[in-house]
Structure 1
Amino acid sequence: MHVKTLASTEQTVQFAVTETDYTMHLKLERQTSDLLIQIIGGDVPHYGVITTVDKTGKALTTALPSRPGHVHQEKVLIDQVLKTVKPLITNNAVLVSGMHVNEITPAQMRAAMPMAHELGVALAKWLKAHPDQTQVVTYAK
């Protein structure tokens, strides 16, 4: 499985991996030490599941409705990415995921978690190579 880097700056990076005839993307945007990570792809990229992680590691997930009686299931993709990047979260992180492959096959379903894991590994390497620039925060007295 080969992860491609599509774009990179000091504050952003985009990766993609393609397997079984579909592509999954990971996009990172950093604001100081906060992270916004998007895991999207397939035929209909969207936002279906949101996980927030604070600097203590506490995570909270919301799965939005997908169709009557169902919620989005992309938490499994977020969990794969979090396995590798959670130790590198120094402040707050928001992970958003949404991926739909029309007429998905069993092989395509099996490929999704390894794809997300590989994207997480690529992101962890990038975060280690591009540490955030700690800024002094002051508050009114």
Structure 2
Amino acid sequence: MKQFKVSMAGYTITAVVHRLNRDLVVLLYGGDLPHVGSVLCYDKASEEKTEVNYYSHDGRYHKDIIIARVFFEKIKHTLPGNLNLTAGVHIDGISQEQIKAAPVMTEKLAEQVTDWLKKEAGNFKDPQYTSHFK
């Protein structure tokens, strides 16, 4: 598990990355009330991407998929395997400056994760399958 943080405009977004061999589980959260607002999953083999947006307290969808997409687009070419990403950033009384900062902060986090993944590349293992099961 590795943790990355970027702060701007009076708040912080954190990326907690669990590397499960080649696969990644990423928690992208921050602000006054971290939560699970959106989920983005990516299957490296099929290149299929699935997105889920949860309803917010007022009946609208959470908008956290925006930062999930920013993060994914920045790291997808470095991904060694599959990705499961949850995103949830909430700031009470959010300002326009804080809204504009979110994708910038997310890109910086993705750059940090990409650099880390490049260093981890030699630590992946290939699975060994038992040949007697047919």
Q: What TM-score, normalized to structure 1?
A: 0.86
Larger strand fraction of residues = 1
Superposed CA deviations along residues 60-106 of structure 1, whole A, max 9, x for unmatched, are 00001112421111111111111221012232110100010011011
Q: Which amino acid aligns with 1:138?
A: Y
Counterparts of 1:1-141 in structure 2, within 5 Å, are: 12-56=1-45, 57-131=47-121, 132-138=123-129, 140-141=133-134
Percent of matched pairs sharing the same residue: 26
Q: How many residues align?
A: 130
- Hey, which bits of structure 1, 4+ residues long, moved more than 6 A? none
Displacement of 1:108: 0.6
Superposed CA deviations along residues 5-30 of structure 1, whole A, max 9, x for unmatched, are xxxxxxx2111111111000011001
Q: CA RMSD in A?
A: 1.3
For residues 98 and 73 of structure 2, what CA distance do their matches in structure 1 show? Answer: 21
Give 1 or 2 for the bigger CA radius of gyration.
2
Q: What TM-score, normalized to structure 2?
A: 0.90
For residues 129 and 89 of structure 1, what CA distance do their matches in structure 2 show? Answer: 12
Gap regions ≥5 residues in structure 2: none
For residues 119 and 100 of structure 1, what CA distance do their matches in structure 2 show? Answer: 17
